[in-house]
Structure 1
Amino acid sequence: MHPLDPVEEERLRNRCWLEAAGGSQQVPLEEINELRQRLATTEDRMSEQIREISTQFQNQMQTQFQTFQNLLGTLMQYLPPPVAVAAQNILQLPNTQQQQNQEQEENPQVQQDDEGQVNPPHPYTDY
């Protein structure tokens, strides 16, 4: 028995596997083109779906982020000024002049000295 050419051996092996699997070696060209077209159409459809889902996700995340920022803004006005300032520094939220004025109106008992230090209220001064 003499060895086969490696290319011929591979071709023979593939043919045997195809026959064992019940397939045929030749597929009509029309069938290949049809499969190629269906694949391209499916690929385009999937790409469009991915873009749509990505856009929806980005919109949802933006909405949730804005809702979270609004919630934080609402909660900040109820915090004592030193805590609100610390929280704003941590969260890096802008502290507008309007928020500062509103905080001072809502918490007039908290005062600052000349150096900007917050003086806590004295609960027994009115008694």
Structure 2
Amino acid sequence: MSRELVNEMCAAQPGAEWSDPWGGGHDCWKVGGKIFALIGVEGTHVAVKTSGTEIAELLIQTGVAERAPYLHRSWVALPLDSAPDELAHRVRHSYRLIRAALPKKLQAELPPLSMVERPAE
């Protein structure tokens, strides 16, 4: 998996916006002004949010991910050469977590989630 393909996954999320807030070549993906995925300058990993520190620790302990530097312990860094399905799942999950934490008014202003992307109720 390449940086370009992960960026395509991020760009496909409804209302996703790209920025490079620190300059120097970061790919920072946001929804509603909040980061849901981040690729550093080196471009070897993508940092994504998990549902909690326990899940993050499990992913780290099983070798799926590493601790994401500079971010809360609920964030992990997945190698860009991880299985494409795993990367896609983690990007979508991070996006949904961040989107769901936005104020309801801001959520309502975003493009709707497709039926495929909606979490199970």
When Rg is computed on C-alpha atoms for both structures, the one with the higher figure is 1
TM-score between the two structures when normalised by the length of structure 2: 0.25
Flag the structure with higher helix content: 1
